[in-house]
Amino acid sequence: MSLAILLGVFAILFFLGMPVAFAMIVAAWAYILYSGFDLSFMALQMFAGLDFFVLLAIPLFILASEVMARTSVAQRIFDFAEALVGGIHGGLGHVNTVTSVIFSGMSGSAVADVGGIGRLSHRAMVNQGYPAPFSAAVTATSAVIGPIIPPSIPMIVFSMVSGASIAKLFFAGAIPGLLIAAALFVYVYVVAKRRGYPMGRRATFAQLIAAFIAGFLPLMTPVILLASIYLGIVTITEAAAVAVLYALALGIFVYRALSWQDFLDCMRTVFIACGAILILLPAAKVFGFALTAEGVSNHFAAWIMSISDNPIFILIAINVLFIVLGCISDPNVNIMLFVPIVMPLANAIGLDPIHFGMIVVLNCMIGLVTPPVGGLLFAICGMEKLRFETVVNAMWPFLGLLFCILALVTAFPALSLWLPGILFN
């Protein structure tokens, strides 16, 4: 009965359009009132939901990309990518992908990628004559790479709920992220050649070197970030602070494009942006408490195992679950709520926690570009005043690509485990 109250209240409020986090909080509240727990205990749990040192990295990574976006860093990365791949069939499409890959090494959030460097690439593509829905689809798909290649906010959240090593998770994402980029490259090349999309002039070697030198310092950000995490000099949280410091140093001393006022504005933007993610943590904490108290994860594992205990079936079931969730809900919510529920199942078939994390994060990121609820699609449609349906129509082939990569990552653990394995053992 109490479980029915929890899930029923949540479902009703969720579909009535109450903010997802509050729907979770109110459902847990109804559950706690019904089962006679103390409400001050609920307040304590909400505080505990945010009381994790690793979470400090979330606003810091947003701050780093915010500072970068306000200086000429985005343009420099774009220019470098254009000199590198602009002269191939589908030129600016590849530029879009390459900038996203580079930028993903500095920022941990896909939506931030679309807002910053994605907009730049999208507009350049449209100006050169690419159809707007196609370039929006390229922009959204390449932004998916953002949180797969380290650093990554969803992976921070995953490591918090599962206890998996965050450094290993970060490095696990590198190869799958590059795989997505490679798949995009091939697809855009073929489509652009067949449909005769415009292509830029091939840059000379001297121009490429010039663009590389102009972009050298920003291009070093991912290297510094990953090296400091790999060498264990700093914690993830401090690595995020170092990334901010580096971005500030570039903006203030090297490019002289950042005033004190700009920095304060960045702080304000980060403050406003981070609440949308952070509210989910206390919410998932109290909701998850209720689920745990009801033993849902054991029931769920037992139920799936009763259908079949074939590992392949269970892997597919996990993927289907997260794909469906991804279509209707937000990545961080899905990770917070469902990873604890699915975890016993993953353990039962001996799935490596890092591999499991990679599958979940990839699923959740694909969920950002699936209709009817896709955060990245909403972001780009809102920004560029495009119709949601036209972008969704252009998205289908890209979704096909992403699902192929997901299948590969699920089927071949080595894609996620090889790199952390050689780095950390």
Partner 1 sequence: MIRFLKTAEVGIGSFCLFAMFAILCTNILMRYGFNAALPWAEEVSNYLFVWAGFLSCAYLLGKDEHLRVDFLVSRFSDKTQAAIRLFNDLVLVAFFVSMVIPSFQLLGKLRTTPSLRMPEAIPYSILPITMLICLVHLISLIRRHYAAYRDAAA
Q: Contact positions toward partner 1, by CB under 8 A?
A: 13-22, 25-26, 29, 33, 38-40, 42-44, 46-47, 50-53, 55-56, 59-60, 63, 233-234, 237-238, 241-242, 244-245, 264, 267-268, 270-272, 274-276, 278-282, 328-330, 372-373
Residue 296's alpha-carbon distances to 120, 292, 305, 386, in angstroms, are: 45, 6, 14, 42
CB of 200 closer than 8 Å to CB of 82: yes
If the CB atoms of residues 51 and 309 are measured against partner 1, the closer one turns out to be 51
Q: Which of 184, 211, 209, 220 is nearest to 399 (CA)?
A: 184
Minimum Å gap between C-beta 157 and partner 1 is 13
Minimum Å gap between C-beta 272 and partner 1 is 7
Minimum Å gap between C-beta 217 and partner 1 is 19
If the CB atoms of residues 55 and 184 are measured against partner 1, the closer one turns out to be 55
What is the residue type of 272?
Answer: I
If the CB atoms of residues 196 and 372 are measured against partner 1, the closer one turns out to be 372
If the CB atoms of residues 40 and 425 are measured against partner 1, the closer one turns out to be 40
If the CB atoms of residues 237 and 410 are measured against partner 1, the closer one turns out to be 237
CB of 316 closer than 8 Å to CB of 372: no
Phi, psi of 311 (to 5 degrees): -55, -35
CB of 354 closer than 8 Å to CB of 165: yes
| Radius of gyration for the chain, computed over Cα atoms and rounded to the nearest angstrom | 22
Minimum Å gap between C-beta 292 and partner 1 is 21
If the CB atoms of residues 82 and 330 are measured against partner 1, the closer one turns out to be 330
Distance in angstroms (rounded) separating the CA atoms of residues 77 and 219: 7
Minimum Å gap between C-beta 35 and partner 1 is 15
If the CB atoms of residues 125 and 364 are measured against partner 1, the closer one turns out to be 364
User: Angle 311-328/296-307 helices, nearest 10 degrees?
Assistant: 130
Minimum Å gap between C-beta 297 and partner 1 is 24
Neighbours of 17 (CB within 10 A): 8
Q: Which of 307, 35, 58 is nearest to 321 (CA)?
A: 307
User: Angle 331-348/296-307 helices, nearest 10 degrees?
Assistant: 60
Residue 35's alpha-carbon distances to 15, 25, 38, 39, 42, in angstroms, are: 24, 15, 9, 11, 12
Distance in angstroms (rounded) separating the CA atoms of residues 222 and 224: 6
Percent helix, strand, coil in the chain, to 5, is: 80, 0, 20
Q: Which of 144, 92, 101, 120 is nearest to 376 (CA)?
A: 144
If the CB atoms of residues 138 and 266 are measured against partner 1, the closer one turns out to be 266
Minimum Å gap between C-beta 196 and partner 1 is 37
If the CB atoms of residues 50 and 302 are measured against partner 1, the closer one turns out to be 50
Minimum Å gap between C-beta 244 and partner 1 is 6
CB of 72 closer than 8 Å to CB of 257: yes
Minimum Å gap between C-beta 178 and partner 1 is 30
